Amino acid sequence: MMKAFCLLLASATAVSAQLPSAKPIPHVQAVPMPHHITSFQLDGRELTAMHFDPLDMRPFCHPIRASRDVSLTRMGHPHDPLTHSHHNSVWVTHNLVNGLDFWGDYAKKQGRIVNVEVSREGYEDTDDYASMRMVNHWISEADKAIQLIEVRRTEVRPEDGAKSWFMIVDMEFTPPKGKTTTFGATGFGLIAVRMAKSIGVHDGGGRILNSEGQLNEEQVFRKPARWCDYSGRITNDADGFGGITLMNHPMNPHNPTAFHVRNDGWMGCCLSLDTPVEVTEEKKLRVRYALWVHDGVATQEQSEAHWKKFVEMPVVDLNPPKPVNK
């Protein structure tokens, strides 16, 4: 056995000597894939993927995996897949922007969020995190008029391997030159999560918990909170549980914000439940959210501790200076 190990070590050393400049592979990578997909991977295993095909109604992330190869989220409502086709796993959108509906897929005044750029500096791969920067246009489906220009940076940051990791979503919204854009008063938008059927309170016996200790739709619905967790069963193993804590950042408008939740398996963080938010060239909208993806059923203390970690993280610059070509 020792002889075989020594031979293997000698062989590896010889190969390394052939290319001494070879760099270690980052543990976390954002890997561009075919058909407008970026795969976020930890040591080669996908945790989630960003889908941004311009033919879709909006970009979204799917699947969302913790330590098991089962997604904690799903595409579409388990009992109403047609009229709830807009429930795209983890997605950013809004029900009322300049009178347009970016939330649903079959609105009379339909909006669409179209990716227009992933810049050359748009990807980062490191041992601690991977990120993707993109530019999206929020347009009117009828005449293709731009309502908003969105810069979005999505970061995946493992904390305890795949058992516990953050997805951090930073966005800045700017209207077209000389225009004002209004996010109207509604409970639908800005960021939402459609949980797996087995995690839903109704279908799977899961649980909704917010930062105030309130439980399930009956107590949590549209109540202000710092965060909201949805946990439940994902496999039939004795420890086959997992969940997601959706987190609002104090820098966002109307903090603490209301959370729109349903026992049928979804939760969303409201940007403008009762009060519209206006965006101008001088007053851009800058928001920051996080998802803590975890194994097990999160306790209130665990979710609160991770929310504090999120809040203490430095806020990134979405418009860093471009590198100088030499």
Res. 326: pLDDT tops 70: no
- What digits encode the pLDDT tens for the residues 253-306? 999 999 999 999 999 999 999 999 999 999 999 999 999 999 999 999 999 999
Neighbours of 220 (CB within 10 A): 25
Contact 95, 103 (CB under 8 A): yes
Res. 10: pLDDT tops 80: no
Contact 133, 119 (CB under 8 A): yes
pLDDT exceeding 70 applies to what percent of the chain? 93
- What digits encode the pLDDT tens for the residues 17-60? 889 899 999 999 999 999 999 999 999 999 999 999 999 999 99
The domains of the chain are located at 26-312
For residue 300, give every residue at least 6 positions away whose Cβ sits within 8 Å of its Cβ, in sequence order, or none: 209, 211, 213
SS3 of 281, please?
A: coil
Round to whole Å and give the CA distance between 153 and 88. Answer: 18
SS3 for 196-227, per residue? CHHHCHHHHCCEEEECCCCEHHHHHCCEEECE
Q: Which of 224, 247, 109, 105 is nearest to 168 (CA)?
A: 247
CATH number of 26-312: 2.70.98
- What digits encode the pLDDT tens for the residues 186-198? 999 999 999 999 9
Contact 202, 262 (CB under 8 A): no
SS3 of 59, please?
A: coil
The answer to whether the pTM exceeds 0.75 is yes
For residue 128, give every residue at least 6 positions away whose Cβ sits within 8 Å of its Cβ, in sequence order, or none: 27, 28, 157, 158
